[in-house]
Structure 1
Amino acid sequence: MAAVTRGSFSLLRRMLSHQYHHRGFRSDWTLKPHVFRCDTKLQLLSSRLLHTAMMFRGPIVQFKLSDIGEGIMEVTVKEWYVKEGDKVSQFDSICEVQSDKASVTITSRYDGIIKKLYYDVDTTALVGKPLVDIETESSSEVIQEEDVVETPAMAREEHTHQEIKGHKTQATPAVRRLAMENNIKLSEVVGTGKDGRILKEDILNFLAKQTGAILPPAPFQEIQTPVPAPSLFAAEPVSTPAATQPSPATPKWPVFTGKDVTAPLKGFSKAMVRTMTAALKIPHFGYCDDVDLSQLVALRAELRSVAESRGIKLSFMPFFIKAASLGLLQFPVLNASVDEACQNITYKVSHNIGLAMDTSQGLLVPNVKNVQLLSVFEIAQELNRLQMLGVSGQLGTAELSGGTFTLSNIGSIGGTYAKPVILPPEVAIGALGKIQVLPRFNDGGQVIRAHIMNVSWSADHRIIDGATMCRFSNLWREYLENPAKMVLDLK
């Protein structure tokens, strides 16, 4: 029996040695011929051990949470898309996390099996710390680089084109976002970092060679027609089928049961604390005015059916945004930013106009990129897209970052007057009240019905004086009160 056992395990050792040599491992075993005799039980044992050896996998890799950018050091895990034991491939979604700026989806860099999840749902994950352990496939090449951060705005094609030439591009999420905003394929950029990693300087150099200057973020190229839904920017509700009717945006407040409740500030609430604390350092200058929108109301009534025939809901907001952009061309100081020491001012070439949006996650301010290059209809398309993302809680970093000027539509809730707070590093913001039908005198002294909206402006008084704010407001009001004049300046 001892001879049978020795012969059985000698054969198993020879087979394992062959497997290790086949996989590139060195073996120092000395193999000697033995007489092989075994019974059925030993054959079954050897077969099972051999099967286990052939299922040998690669090393277990600690998949760390990379730097998401924007100075974010911690996020909250909102949802896991995998569990321990699940098999994943490259670019498969692993989890959704929420920072104090946006919700992002973390995707896998490796092929393998999930061995460990380091965090539970609603717990805080730290940047640079392990997120999951992945047992990689033995035949796959393990590349030690950061995980992929995918915001909802990133098209799936962004991953596809990076694999076309048969190699993987290495870049941090911040660099990927810079490339996406400038419509650059990472596969076309030569990386100068370690192991070919693409750096921020590589993107800027690529832009300089292509255009001779650094371009503003490119506007979206393709916009999917969204399902009509109640708009947070509309002046009146729109009836939709019950199947597509989203639930109203209501904040999730704690339910009081007779006891004091203490909860930590996190996510967007924590971001608001930091932003408003920075805003307190800005001396605000306020300015208010009334705008007669009677002609704009009539124009929108004519164009609304045309826009709806194209699958887009047309509210007043696209006109407000485009008029603001036309005004910023004449007063670029309102589309600028200053450094922390207030020693330098940067005039922004892109008009990335933000819209304060009331969502179930709280107050968010996504922005429409490059309004100076868009038509009123294209702005309406983008607003519809942002509104759909806001309702579903899918606004990402791409939509929430990069704003240069903001309009807050408090009138969509019912407010008339406001004192808006500037969102650093921006230097101006406007709050739009609800549109009211009020009596006004015409040129002949007769009382007529007029659609009046109040607007409240706030400006950084360190670089913007009251006269400049007033002149900008007058120009913006003139475009809206006489929308035909906008045609002369539209590009």
Structure 2
Amino acid sequence: MAAATALRSCYRAAGRLLCARHVRLCSSVRFLKSKYVWMFDKSTFEFSHQHRLFKTTAVSNGQIVQFKLSDIVEGITEVTVKEWYVKEGDNVSQFDSICEVQSDKASVTITSRYDGVIRKLYYNLDEIAYVGKPLVDIETDALKDVASEEDVVETPAVSHEEHTHQEIKGHKTLATPAVRRLAMENNIKLSEVVGTGKDNRILKEDILNYLAKQTGAILPPSPKLEIIPPLPESETAPAKPKDKAPKIPIPISRPIVFSGKDKTEALTGFHKVMVKTMTAALKIPHFGYCDEIDLTQLIQLREELKPTAEARGVKLSFLPFFIKAASLGLLHYPILNASVDENCTNITYKTSHNIGVAMDTEQGLIVPNVKNVQGCSVLEIAFELNRLQALGSANQLGTNDLTGGTFTLSNIGTIGGTYCKAVILPPEVAIGALGKIQVLPRFNGKGEVIKAHIMNVSWSADHRIIDGATMSCFSNLWKSYLEKPAFMLLDLK
């Protein structure tokens, strides 16, 4: 007993020494504890236990990574945050969509580089985010996943078309971020939905149809205004005696008071780039030329081809024919598919016919273009237009869709216009505005009055390098292709 008491006293002294010099004696104390665990008193055991808890807590804390906005397009320093796909506290994985931003040129979806938890969002919707500044804070548990400071500075900003793929159990599913979000909000797995788009791409309609089948709901049609005719006077009120004249109240004039206030907003997005483009366009001397086109034969041809196009999943409008006819005309008059430098000292003839189509969207006027029309069929042009129109309506057009145009057509007829003085989009040198199609009386070759489908076209050209004769000859050739569509077969390659 005396030996045991003495040994216990020695260990108490060692415990007090550990408090003063715990760094050097840490390993030896753990050795003594494992060998003489029955001899440790309460105070020494409590100290060792607290020390282990401190070390565990330090390791369990994750590291906060500032996820900064990288360069989206050369020359772009700021963007507008249009939609958040995450919120604070959400778990994200690599390549998950973080947010959608809108620059002066295109809409871009920002994706995550790390696995972790969103801890902070630096911007609200419609606020301006700056390149190189933090976008979100992500807490990542695995320290090895956190790159060096140089790697954390920028996040890959990838356009919409490059990140519409989603891997689900080894199966590649095509869907836009907006469709994926709709599926997530309704707890729908994309792997269970059958896509009806190109390459089995899942569309918004596929999600809605799947949801309707699961819930048994019937999607309601769009509401229509019901007009109820007024009841006859005999049913609305009893007849009044004729000898008594009705009393007509005298209205009291009261001033109209408006409670609204003026609001000032900064120009952003496409409105901002429109100011820059139109300011440059005012330096160009515009030359105008107008004509009318008889589309009677083209209308008959389109009606014959529409069922075949729909069977191939393509909506066929008149615009693909207008675009293809313009490309055939540009082969004969390449100066209309050219560009000039700022001082108008050099002219560049473009090989590709990248024909732009002006679109009116909620974000403003945008002009995406169909690339390499000279090598496309009418059906291929129609398919590409379907894609551009769908992305434009969803505000998802990429930079490649909005840049590189060489010639432009503006279809104002879809809104109801007939004539238009179109403004050239520099560095292009020509633009055409297409009016609405009207049924009007015209004389045929025999002098008989017939019903004709007439469309007006208004051309604008850069009068510094394009003369009236060139514009007129191009317009006449374009007109002949549309009035007699069979003529296009002679020049198609």
TM range (shorter): 0.7 to 0.9
C-alpha distance in 2, partners of 1:420/1:380?
24
Contact 1:118 1:130 in 2 (8 A): yes
Using the TM superposition, give the Cα deviation of residue 158 of structure 1 relative to its aligned residue in structure 2, in angstroms. 11
Residues 355-394 of structure 1: CA deviation (Å, up to 9, x unaligned)? 1111222221111111112111111111111121122222
Residue type matched to 1:412 in 2?
T
For the pair 1:33 / 2:35, whether they are aligned, the reply is: no
C-alpha distance in 1, partners of 2:357/2:203?
19
Residue type matched to 1:71 in 2?
G
Contact 2:409 2:432 in 1 (8 A): yes
Cα-Cα RMSD:
3.3
1:232-247 aligned within 5 A: none
Contact 2:432 2:459 in 1 (8 A): yes
1:2-21 aligned within 5 A: none
Using the TM superposition, give the Cα deviation of residue 403 of structure 1 relative to its aligned residue in structure 2, in angstroms. 1.4
Point out the more displaced range, 460-469 or 413-422.
460-469
Point out the more displaced range, 395-404 or 407-416.
395-404
For the pair 1:485 / 2:487, whether they are aligned, the reply is: yes
Using the TM superposition, give the Cα deviation of residue 107 of structure 1 relative to its aligned residue in structure 2, in angstroms. 1.4
Q: Which residue of 1 aligns with 2:143?
A: 138
Contact 2:356 2:367 in 1 (8 A): yes
Contact 1:225 1:311 in 2 (8 A): no
Using the TM superposition, give the Cα deviation of residue 49 of structure 1 relative to its aligned residue in structure 2, in angstroms. 2.7
Contact 1:314 1:380 in 2 (8 A): yes
Contact 2:18 2:26 in 1 (8 A): no
C-alpha distance in 1, partners of 2:476/2:108?
40
Structure 2: give runs of 5+ residues left out of the alignment.
Answer: 1-11, 34-39, 169-197, 207-217, 224-257
Using the TM superposition, give the Cα deviation of residue 468 of structure 1 relative to its aligned residue in structure 2, in angstroms. 1.2
For the pair 1:52 / 2:57, whether they are aligned, the reply is: yes
Using the TM superposition, give the Cα deviation of residue 242 of structure 1 relative to its aligned residue in structure 2, in angstroms. 6.2
Contact 1:223 1:382 in 2 (8 A): no
From 148, 158, 162, the equivalent of 1:154 is: 162
Using the TM superposition, give the Cα deviation of residue 277 of structure 1 relative to its aligned residue in structure 2, in angstroms. 0.8
Distance 1:289 1:49, change over 3 A: same
1:399-414 aligned within 5 A: 399-414=401-416
1:211-290 aligned within 5 A: 257-290=259-292
C-alpha distance in 2, partners of 1:55/1:341?
64
Contact 2:269 2:363 in 1 (8 A): no
Contact 2:18 2:25 in 1 (8 A): no
C-alpha distance in 2, partners of 1:328/1:2?
98
C-alpha distance in 2, partners of 1:9/1:341?
81
Structure with the bigger percentage of helix: 2
Distance 1:437 1:119, change over 3 A: same
C-alpha distance in 2, partners of 1:368/1:444?
41
Using the TM superposition, give the Cα deviation of residue 129 of structure 1 relative to its aligned residue in structure 2, in angstroms. 2.3
From 50, 64, 67, the equivalent of 2:68 is: 64
1:170-249 aligned within 5 A: none
Q: Which residue of 2 aligns with 1:73?
A: 77
Q: Which residue of 2 aligns with 1:302?
A: 304
SS at match of 1:406: strand
From 354, 357, 360, the equivalent of 1:355 is: 357
1:335-354 aligned within 5 A: 335-354=337-356
SS at match of 1:485: helix
Residue type matched to 1:132 in 2?
V
Residues 36-79 of structure 1: CA deviation (Å, up to 9, x unaligned)? 44578667644543432332545x44332222225222111122
For the pair 1:98 / 2:106, whether they are aligned, the reply is: no
Contact 1:118 1:131 in 2 (8 A): yes
Q: Which residue of 1 aligns with 2:92?
A: 88
Distance 1:227 1:3, change over 3 A: closer
C-alpha distance in 2, partners of 1:222/1:404?
30
C-alpha distance in 1, partners of 2:464/2:378?
32
- Percent identical across equivalent pairs? 65
Residue type matched to 2:466 in 1?
I
C-alpha distance in 1, partners of 2:463/2:16?
90
C-alpha distance in 2, partners of 1:5/1:87?
46
Structure 1: give runs of 5+ residues left out of the alignment.
Answer: 14-28, 161-220, 230-240, 247-255
Contact 1:153 1:399 in 2 (8 A): no
Q: Which residue of 2 aligns with 1:197?
A: none
Contact 1:8 1:46 in 2 (8 A): no
Q: How many residue pairs end up in the alignment?
A: 394
Contact 1:406 1:429 in 2 (8 A): yes
Give the TM-score normalised by the residue count of structure 1: 0.72
C-alpha distance in 1, partners of 2:295/2:287?
25
Give the TM-score normalised by the residue count of structure 2: 0.72
C-alpha distance in 1, partners of 2:310/2:466?
40
